[in-house]
Structure 1
Amino acid sequence: MSIPLTSARWTHVALPCDDVDKTIEFYTSMIPLTVVARFRVDDGETVWLANDPRFQTPFVLVLVSFDEDKGHEQGLLKPFAHIGIEVPSRADVDAFAELARTAGYLHWEPRQMPDPIGYICALRDPDGNVVEIAYGQRVFDTVSAQLAQS
């Protein structure tokens, strides 16, 4: 289903990465994203990852690996800048943390933060970028409710 573009629309965040395959593995095994497109351009490779395609409001994480930057640190989102992922339960936060801890990707241990932050942990991708996993933050619900009122 295509939603007509009638005004500017938030669509993606693009992050450089050193090893595309290693970074894809992180985002598809540690975070519930799937590869929706992968293509080669003149000077590198681009991959589009998104949440489950059943969602009506897709948001895409674009990974870009430039040939000239191979072997150099690429991370941009650190130590606090991050990508936020909302999950349905505290147990999900704990499960993400355990999976990341075991794989060596845990950045922040799970912790309860004051409202509206909620219960969170964070993972660190292969390039050092931070991904926050949150329960109770209600970002999507809050924005949806505000849009419904306008």
Structure 2
Amino acid sequence: MRWSHAALNCGDLDTTEKFYTTWFGARRANEFDLGDLRIVFLRVGDAYLELFGAASPAAGEPAGGDGHQVTGTVRHIAFQTDDLDAFLRAVEGRADITLGPLDFSAHIHGWRSVWLRDPDGVVVEVSEGYRDRD
């Protein structure tokens, strides 16, 4: 396993991106426009910040799917693996899967992810195949 990213819900995605690029040396590695949602990956060294233009459901709602969607909160943390299927076999019946596995090959060939809840309720993504845009 390798550390991958933390995902942040942003009130203003562009302002948040500028903050991290200006003050922490992050650079844009990728962007996805999903119609009603824009996601930007910023690279910081060997890890990423994944910025979500966020919806804001009621505070205190339990995290589900890929995490909380409340502005100003961490959505999820993430790790990358070379073999998502082996990871899924290892955790089968022993982890609370909240979403997936989902296939994002329409965006990046071979990119797949699954989300699970840790014992304290933090959503953790495990991903295979993500890479930066050339």
For normalisation by structure 2, the TM-score amounts to 0.39
Which structure shows the bigger proportion of residues in strand conformation? Answer: 2
Higher Cα Rg, which structure: 1
For normalisation by structure 1, the TM-score amounts to 0.36
Q: Quick one: higher RCO (CA 8 Å, sep 6+), 1 or 2?
A: 2
